[in-house]
Amino acid sequence: MERIKVFLKDGSHKEYDKGISVGEVAENISRNLAKAAVIAQVDGRLVELNFQLQQDSQVNILTFQDEDGKDAFRHTSSHIMAQAVKRIFPGTKLAIGPAIQDGFYYDFDVERPFTTEDFQAIEQEMNKIIEEDYPLERLEMSRDEAIKFFKGLGEDYKVKLIEDLDEDTPISLYRQGEFTDLCAGPHLPSTGRVRAFKLLSVAGAYWRGDEKNKMLQRIYGTSFEKKKDLEDYLNMLEEAKRRDHRKIGRELDLYSIMEEGPGFPFFHPKGMVLRNILEDFWRQEHTKKGYQEVKTPIILNEELWHRSGHWDHYKENMYFTEIDEGAYAVKPMNCPGGMLLYGRKLHSYRDLPQRVAELGLVHRHELSGALHGLMRVRCFTQDDAHIYMLPSQIKDEIIGVIELTDYLYSIFGFEYRVELSTKPENSMGSDEDWETATNALREALKVKGIDYKLNEGDGAFYGPKIDFHLKDCIGRTWQCGTIQLDFQMPERFELVYIGADGEKHRPVMIHRTIFGSIERFIAILTEHYAGAFPAWLAPVQVKVLPITDKHNGYARQICEQLFKQGFRAETDLRNEKVGYKIREAQMEKIPFMLIVGDKEMQEGNVSVRARDKGDLGSRDINEFVEEITEIVNSKE
């Protein structure tokens, strides 16, 4: 029997008989590994555990702990759900059913809309399919055979998917019991591996995301290896509902979305206080780091967007208008305006690096079904910056952005993970430029000692990028900051600087955001703090509560003193019991309450109550001012 070498992730290798499956390799390495294995990676390709090795190969056994392992686990879960739906609702037609972050979904064309009341029956049928432990068998067909097969089943959407594939694309199907689906795989060995799952919600979804197509029914679900992990996740979802920024925004009177402007947020007075504090903090920290702030127009000539490349890559997401019989576009991003600003005059190499920041309002057309409070809107303010630099300055400037990003996130207590994304298929520029840019980002991360996940082919169309994913207090992650290195825009806009040799040279530029979108970052903060913003961010920092009407004058005096000293203070002069006022202030999540009555008036003191710590006792007002000043200045 011919022998082959199997090279493992740890750098070691083993010899086996040709034709051994990767599942058998896992068993040979460790019984525990074989038990945990879900799929494998062979020479960079994801395969099932029954895949047979025919030559020397690099093999990586994947478990549920690996992202690709989770995806395969949840993709199999979506097939189980689709099989259950077909059993209960036989006339249903299948569209697509991928794994997504934290779960899966499947789109169905069904006679009547699903309701959450249908979930119990579907879950019961899914449990039967899991108990039946069907093996998932991979089938390969020619394009014509696959079209004929799905036409016979009446699965029109599967036929359309196959017809849109390139003629030389291999067609694979997966069969489990009586159910067969079009799928590239890979999958779990059998349905019995999915023991912990839950259907979560149902929503409408247009076929292929196009509003002109038929509305389908999308059922979302999630699944885990262990029931405890599922329970923890469901508890997190309940906590997330409690923290929903849309709900808290209404309760605290911060912001809203009106019917007259779907996707266009309104900020209320208290919401504007929060927003202005955040923007002022951003400005202060950027000024310290040598950034100059600019403002570019919201509407610019259509030709500009052809020149920048956004027309070819982004026009479906843009809004357009006509001015003086000329075609104009509402900007979906700030960078082309920034290019015009740089190009307005000649620069010397001594002027670089030039760091230019903009809190720029942009508009992007989002499908109505994708809109979600402040998280997904049609207009938002990017905390943008563009850095123009010499090639020799690239690494130091990227490091500077990383350090500023790390500092700003630390103020809010965010941990984060980093991803590096490389050249996509629809990119502009030469392979050489892309390699130089990608290596520069990689080197900066290495210097800072930052571990990162590599996302092959997921860069912007003009350059590779580093993305920062924040982790909030209940474990959810949010993509916010990004650093994009760009050799293409300076070329397209013919940007230059005069070098030490007296000749014109092309600068390199960085596009970057830290908060990402001010609106979305406020939503993330609202959920992270559950509306209980720290004192330096809170729209109202102190509420003064008189015990009876005769204490109103003293309460106003205290409030005025706080206001003059720069604090955001209010009084509650309603003719209500003080206990009721305290509960109301607590519900409004005010950091500090000052209760004043006869004793406080006589002694010239205030009784201090903290939102999180309760009664702190009596304080001289000046003593309280010193305490709150220290808390606000330290941004605790």
Residue 165 has pLDDT above 90, yes or no: no
Residue 429 has pLDDT above 80, yes or no: no
- Give the position of tokens 């016979």: 152
Q: What percent of the chain has pLDDT over 90?
A: 80
Spatial CB neighbours of 19, under 8 Å, sequence gap ≥ 6: 52, 53, 54
Residue 539 has pLDDT above 80, yes or no: yes
pLDDT of the residue at 329:
94
Q: What percent of the chain has pLDDT over 70?
A: 100
Q: Distances from the Cα of 633 to the Cαs of 39, 213, 628, 629, in angstroms?
A: 52, 54, 8, 6
Tens-place pLDDT, residues 613-622 = 999 999 999 9
Tens-place pLDDT, residues 561-578 = 999 999 999 999 999 999
Mean pLDDT across 293-310: 92
Mean pLDDT across 422-443: 85
| Residues carrying an active site annotation | 335, 364, 382, 384, 386, 465, 511
Distance CA 437, CA 439 (A): 6
* pTM of the full structure: 0.83
Residue 472 has pLDDT above 90, yes or no: no
Distance CA 216, CA 207 (A): 6
Closest CA to 496 of 304, 346, 319: 346
- The encoded tokens of residue 610 equal 């903290």
Query: Exposure pattern of 46-57 as b/e (b: 16+ CB <10 Å)?
Result: bbbbbbebeeeb
pLDDT of the residue at 445:
93
Residue 114 has pLDDT above 90, yes or no: yes
Mean pLDDT across 350-363: 96
pLDDT of the residue at 549:
93
- Give the position of tokens 């006509």: 322
Mean pLDDT across 531-541: 97
Mean pLDDT across 179-184: 95
pLDDT of the residue at 582:
96
Confidence tier at 208 by pLDDT (50, 70, 90):
confident
- Give the position of tokens 């010899």: 15
Confidence tier at 365 by pLDDT (50, 70, 90):
very high
pLDDT of the residue at 17:
87
pLDDT of the residue at 452:
93
Tens-place pLDDT, residues 5-26 = 888 988 888 888 889 999 999 9
Tens-place pLDDT, residues 598-610 = 999 999 999 999 9
Residue 160 has pLDDT above 90, yes or no: yes
Domains recognised in the chain with CATH numbers: 3-63 (3.10.20.30), 68-241 (3.30.980.10), 262-296+332-528 (3.30.930.10), 542-634 (3.40.50.800)
Residue 333 has pLDDT above 80, yes or no: yes
Instruction: Share the mean pLDDT of the chain.
Output: 93
Mean pLDDT across 490-514: 94
Tens-place pLDDT, residues 243-285 = 999 999 999 999 999 999 999 999 999 999 999 999 999 999 9
Residue 369 has pLDDT above 80, yes or no: no
